[in-house]
Amino acid sequence: MVVKRGVEVPLSEIKLRASRSSGPGGQHANVTASRVEAVFEVAASSALTEAQKRRVIDRVGPRVTAVAQDARSQAQNRELALERLRERLKRALAVPRARRPTAPTTASRERRLAAKRRGAQRKQARRPPRSEDD
């Protein structure tokens, strides 16, 4: 199963379990085990590097699971569970882009100072007039 570019997890490392569904497929007369749970043990994986394993464990834990019971068919639920597992692994492996600090633009500085001047003038206008005695 291709997770993202450069990362491919063999299906042999993913445990699939089927059980009775509470949704579609779990209520008809000939009850089937249509609910599918896909479990991936991160630490035991040979497909991920140590850095990738640490990142996944830090973000989602040592076991990544995905459950599907949307369809009546076990085969469809199996595909859905594997797709959900792939998405969770992909998000957990994503390296956030480094933030580049930026300086405020000249125009934004001017707008900020102009707003401060307007506020100061507004407050000045609210003050009582100064008496001639002072």
Q: Which amino acid is at 67?
A: V
Domains and CATH numbers, the chain: 2-93 (3.30.160.20)
Give the pLDDT score at 25: 53
Return the bridge partners of 65, or none.
Answer: 39
Give the pLDDT score at 19: 85
In whole angstroms, what is the distance from residue 54 CA to residue 64 CA? 13
Q: Is the pTM of this model over 0.75?
A: no
Percent of the chain predicted with pLDDT > 70: 93
What is the tens place of the pLDDT at every residue in 39-72?
Answer: 999 888 888 889 989 999 999 899 999 999 888 8
Give the helix/strand (H/E) hosting 91: helix 74-93
Which two tokens mark 108?
């934004």
